C-alpha cells in the first residue's frame, strides 16, 4: 500500500531542529571507509534508504560495515584495490549517486559486478559514467540506452586518463576519481564549472593525494594519484543542506515563522539555493560558522517574510541542482516572475522534475511556463489555491516540495505516494509537524 499524505495550512513554525545527515557525504564516507586501512567511525550518517543500499553493497564487496547502538557506523576497510567479487547482484535501490559512484569503485577491480535498482533507477541514463570508465579499461554490458540492470567487467590493468566533462557533473567526476585510486599514475577530470567537491575534500581527509587547479574558463582540473594508502578515521557528517531547504522554505512562506536548523553543511558549492533565496529577499542567517572534517557548517536561522521573483542564472545550477523543486514552491508564493535557467539535468533525475513541477504547480493554480531547460513561475505574492493531488512519480523531492506548498496554500495538497521520502529524509513528517506543520 502506498503512503498518501495530506498537507494543510500550518501554524507559524517555531523551534529548533536538525535535519538528517548529508546524503552525498554519507555515500562517500562509507565508500572511502571501505577502502581505508583500519577502522573508520562515522557519526551523523543519513540512514535513509539510498545510503543503506550503499552500506549493504559495500558489505557484499567485502568491507565490514556495522551500526552501533549509539548511532555511529564502524567500518573496517579492505585497502585500495582490496574489494572482492560480490556473490550476488548489487541493488542500489533508488540511488543514482550510489550507483554511479559504486561503478567507479569497482571498474578498476579485476572482477565482474552486476548492478540493478528500482524501476526509477533502471530508467535513468548511466552512459555518462560508463563511457569514461570504459576508457580506463572497464567493460560494460547494459540495457538499451546504457540503463540498469548492467554488468561492470572490471579491468586488471586500468589506464589513467584525462577526461573533460561534457557537462558539469559531480557524480561522473567522483566516479572517475574513485576509479583512479586503484589506477597507476594520475587520473584527471576537467570540469567546465565547479561542482560539489565532497569527494576531493574527503579523499584528502583519508590521506589521498588530490590536486585542484582552476582553469582560465572558470572551471577546475582535479587530479588524483593512484595507489594511496587511505587510513581509517573518525568523521562527522553534517546535516544535508538539500534536506534543510524544505523546512527553511516552509518557514519563509508561513507568516510569523522563525526556526533554527543546526549543523547544516554550507559548502560554497552547495549553497546556490540560499544565495537565490536571499536575492529574493529571504531572511536567512548563517550563525556559528565553523569547519567540520574539512566541510563548512553553520546553524541556519530562518524568518518569514515577503519574497520577490528573480532570474536564476544557468551557471548556478550545479550548486543547487537538487533544490529547484523547492525553489519553485518559493517562487509560486513570491511577488513577480522567477525564471530558472539551465535545468536540462532535471529531466533525468528520479523523475522528469522540471515537467513534474510545472504540472503540479499548474494543478495548484500557479501560472507556469516550461521550456526545454527553463522553468518560469509567475508568482502573485500570495498563497496559491492548492487543492490538487500530486503524482510524485516516486520522487522524494517532488513529494516534499508539494507538502511544503500545502502548508501555505488556501486548500490542502495531497501527495499520492510519499514512500520515496525515506530515501533522503527519514522522519520528514515528524520533524515538520514538530515545527508546526499539519501533515497527516
Annotated binding site for 3-phosphoshikimate: 23-24, 28, 169, 171, 322, 349
**E strands, 154-219, in order:** 162-164, 186-191, 210-214
User: What separation in angstroms does the CA of 335 have from each of 229, 276, 308, 355, 382?
Assistant: 54, 15, 5, 22, 7
Can you tell me whether residue 142 is helix, strand or coil? strand
The CA distance from 129 to 161, in Å, is: 14
**Torsion angle (degrees, nearest 10) of CA 426, 429, 434, 438:** 170
**End-to-end Cα separation, the chain, in angstroms:** 16
What grid cell was written down for 378? 509567475
Give the CA-trace dihedral at 418, 423, 424, 427, to 10 degrees. Answer: 60
Residues making up the binding site: 23-24, 28, 96, 124, 169, 171, 322, 349, 353, 397
* Helix, strand, coil tally for the chain in percent (to 5): 35, 30, 35
Catalytic option among 22, 50, 118, 322: 322
Q: Phi-psi bin for 93: left (phi > 0), alpha (psi -120 to 50), beta?
A: left
Residue 397: name the closest of 420, 367, 431, 414 by CA: 420
* Set of cell numbers at residue 215: 582553469
Is there a contact between 161 and 132 (Cβ–Cβ < 8 Å)?
A: yes
Q: What does the alpha-carbon distance between residue 431 and residue 48 come to, in Å, rounded to a whole number?
A: 15
Signed CA dihedral, 112, 41, 290, 288: sign only: positive
Using only the alpha carbons of the chain, give its radius of gyration: 21
Q: 321 — phi, psi (to 5°)?
A: -60, -30
CB 18 within 8 A of CB 226: no
Instruction: Report the length, in residues, of the chain.
Output: 440
Question: Bridge-partner residues for 141, per DSSP?
Answer: 151
Angle between helices 23-35 and 49-60 (to 10 degrees): 10
Preceding amide of 157 cis, omega within 30: no
322 is catalytic: yes
Residue numbers in the known binding site for phosphoenolpyruvate are 23, 96, 124, 171, 353, 397
Catalytic residues: 322
Amino acid at each position: 500500500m502506498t503512503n498518501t499524505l495530506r498537507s494543510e495550512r500550518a501554524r507559524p513554525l517555531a523551534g529548533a531542529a536538525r535535519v538528517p545527515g548529508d546524503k552525498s557525504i554519507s555515500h562517500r564516507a562509507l565508500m572511502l571507509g571501505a577502502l581505508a586501512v583500519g577502522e573508520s567511525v562515522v557519526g551523523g550518517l543519513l540512514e535513509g534508504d539510498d545510503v543503506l543500499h550503499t552500506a549493504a553493497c559495500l558489505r557484499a564487496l567485502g568491507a565490514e560495515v556495522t551500526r552501533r547502538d549509539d548511532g555511529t557506523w564502524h567500518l573496517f576497510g579492505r585497502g585500495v584495490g582490496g574489494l572482492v567479487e560480490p556473490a550476488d547482484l548489487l541493488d542500489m535501490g533508488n540511488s543514482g549517486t550510489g550507483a554511479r559512484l559504486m561503478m567507479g569503485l569497482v571498474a578498476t577491480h579485476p572482477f565482474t559486478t552486476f548492478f540493478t535498482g528500482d524501476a526509477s533507477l533502471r530508467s535513468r541514463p548511466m552512459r555518462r559514467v560508463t563511457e569514461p570508465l570504459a576508457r580506463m579499461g572497464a567493460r560494460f554490458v547494459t540495457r538499451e540506452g546504457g540503463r540498469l540492470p548492467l554488468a561492470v567487467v572490471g579491468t586488471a590493468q586500468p589506464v589513467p586518463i584525462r577526461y573533460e566533462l561534457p557537462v558539469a557533473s559531480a557524480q561522473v567526476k567522483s566516479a572517475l576519481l574513485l576509479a583512479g585510486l586503484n589506477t597507476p599514475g594520475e587520473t584527471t577530470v576537467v570540469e567546465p564549472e565547479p561542482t560539489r567537491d565532497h569527494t576531493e575534500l574527503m579523499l584528502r581527509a583519508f590521506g589521498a593525494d588530490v590536486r585542484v587547479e582552476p582553469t582560465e574558463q572558470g572551471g577546475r582540473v582535479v587530479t588524483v594519484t593512484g595507489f594511496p594508502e587511505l587510513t581509517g578515521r573518525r568523521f562527522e557528517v553534517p546535516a544535508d543542506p538539500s534536506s534543510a531547504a524544505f523546512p527553511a522554505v516552509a518557514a519563509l512562506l508561513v507568516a510569523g515563522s522563525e526556526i533554527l536548523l543546526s549543523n547544516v553543511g554550507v559548502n560554497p558549492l552547495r549553497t546556490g539555493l540560499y544565495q537565490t533565496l536571499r536575492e529574493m529577499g529571504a531572511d536567512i542567517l548563517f550563525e556559528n560558522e565553523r569547519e567540520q572534517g574539512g566541510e563548512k557548517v553553520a546553524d541556519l536561522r530562518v524568518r518569514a517574510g515577503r519574497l520577490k521573483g528573480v532570474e536564476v542564472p544557468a551557471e548556478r545550477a550545479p550548486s543547487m541542482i537538487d533544490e529547484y523543486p523547492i525553489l519553485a514552491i518559493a517562487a509560486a508564493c513570491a511577488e513577480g516572475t522567477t525564471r530558472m535557467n539551465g535545468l536540462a539535468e532535471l529531466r533525468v533525475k528520479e523523475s522528469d522534475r522540471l515537467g513534474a513541477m510545472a504540472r503540479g504547480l499548474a494543478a495548484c493554480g500557479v501560472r507556469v511556463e516550461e521550456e526545454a531547460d527553463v522553468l518560469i513561475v509567475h508568482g502573485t505574492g500570495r498563497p496559491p489555491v492548492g487543492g490538487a493531488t500530486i503524482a510524485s512519480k516516486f520522487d522524494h523531492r517532488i513529494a516534499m516540495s508539494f507538502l511544503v506548498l500545502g502548508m501555505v496554500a488556501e486548500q490542502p495538497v495531497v501527495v499520492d505516494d510519499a514512500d520515496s521520502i525515506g530515501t533522503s529524509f527519514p522522519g520528514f513528517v515528524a520533524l515538520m509537524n514538530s515545527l508546526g506543520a499539519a501533515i497527516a
